[in-house]
Amino acid sequence: MEQMLKNLSRTEFISITVRDPRVYKQDIWHMYLDYEICLETNSMCFRKKWSSVRRRYSEFVWLRQSLQQNALIIELPKLPPWLPFFHLRSPEQVALRMKGLQMFLELVVQSPLLLSDSRLHLFLQSKLSVGRMERCAQGRTRYTVAELSHVLEFILVKEEIMSLHLQVGDKSLTVVLVYGPNRSVEYPASLESMGGVLDSAPAGDFVVLLGDFNTHVGNDSDT
């Protein structure tokens, strides 16, 4: 009995929940809906044992098409159908779609062949756009899929300021990279942007500030 309990405790699991639908307004005429995908696992297939990302229905469509291209020998589970009169404010329609999206992902992660596709991991455990996921999977980015397993979020605030939100063990870390302007007249705006990024770091994060602030001593210079 003791051995049986030990074996059960070692059983791998992948738990996926699709929840928390949110409506966003793009402009006066257009709105869209996205969903939070929470994944918890002890599977060796995933570098992150817990993750949370938000995805739109159109991104699910992209994922299924991408998986189908690399898994021609198996039939993929279906997504809930696209409805021409889908109402973003209808709790019944939204709940039904969420249930279908969760069922789709639960069936996908049961397939060892599909689990080997890097696009699935990027979809579930990174916040990259569809275009960046494609480029990363094709090896056309400076970062790899494995490296992104530690990156929770990347924000390019402006050309000289960026922020990385990293998972390091059971801790999270925000790294802010700054390259200061050459002209002192541009410093106030740059410092204000940097301050905003530092203030927006998630509560409880360790914060690291790195960069070249281009400071100088003496007379003001425009060089």
Does residue 120 sit in the same domain as residue 76?
yes
Beta-ladder partners of 14: 41
- CA–CA dist 152, 173 (Å, integer): 10
Please report which confidence band the pLDDT of residue 74 belongs to, taking 50, 70 and 90 as the band edges.
confident
The residue behind tokens 């109402």 is 87
The residue behind tokens 């050309």 is 159
Would the pLDDT of 171 be above 90? no
Closest by Cα among 149, 97, 156 to 123: 149
Q: Are 17 and 38 in contact (CB under 8 A)?
A: yes
Does residue 81 sit in the same domain as residue 155?
no
| Across 4-13, average pLDDT | 61
Angle at 169 between CA 168 and CA 171, to 5 degrees: 65
Chain-centroid distance of CA 80 in Å reads 22
Q: 3-class SS at 24?
A: strand
Would the pLDDT of 216 be above 70? no
Q: 3-class SS at 176?
A: strand
| Chain segment 105-150, per-residue pLDDT in tens | 999 999 988 988 989 999 999 888 999 899 888 888 776 666 665 5
The values of phi and psi at residue 35, to 5°, are -135, 150
Does residue 32 sit in the same domain as residue 119?
yes
pLDDT score for 146? 66
Question: What is the residue type of 65?
Answer: Q
pLDDT score for 223? 47
Please report which confidence band the pLDDT of residue 10 belongs to, taking 50, 70 and 90 as the band edges.
low
CATH number for the domain that contains residue 58:
3.30.1520.10
Name, in order, each residue with C-beta under 8 angstroms of 155's C-beta and a sequence gap of 6 or more.
Answer: 162, 163, 165, 197
Please report which confidence band the pLDDT of residue 218 belongs to, taking 50, 70 and 90 as the band edges.
low
151 token code pair: 């990156």
Does residue 14 sit in the same domain as residue 103?
yes
Question: Based on the structure, what is the number of domains in the chain?
Answer: 2
User: Greater confidence, 207 or 149?
Assistant: 207
Q: 3-class SS at 156?
A: strand
Does residue 156 sit in the same domain as residue 73?
no
Residue-number span of the structural domain to which 79 is assigned: 10-143
Please report which confidence band the pLDDT of residue 160 belongs to, taking 50, 70 and 90 as the band edges.
confident
Does residue 19 sit in the same domain as residue 111?
yes
Q: Which of 143, 162, 183 is at the close of a domain?
A: 143
In a domain, 123, yes or no: yes
Does residue 122 sit in the same domain as residue 170?
no
In a domain, 223, yes or no: no
Q: Model pTM greater than 0.85? A: no
Closest by Cα among 171, 169, 162, 144 to 210: 162
Alpha helical stretches, state H, the chain: 2-9, 57-70, 91-108, 112-115, 118-125, 130-137, 145-148, 187-199
pLDDT score for 16? 97
For residue 3, the 8-state DSSP code is H
Q: What b/e string do you get for 45-62 counting C-beta neighbours within 10 Å, with b at 16 or more?
A: ebebeebbbebebebbeb
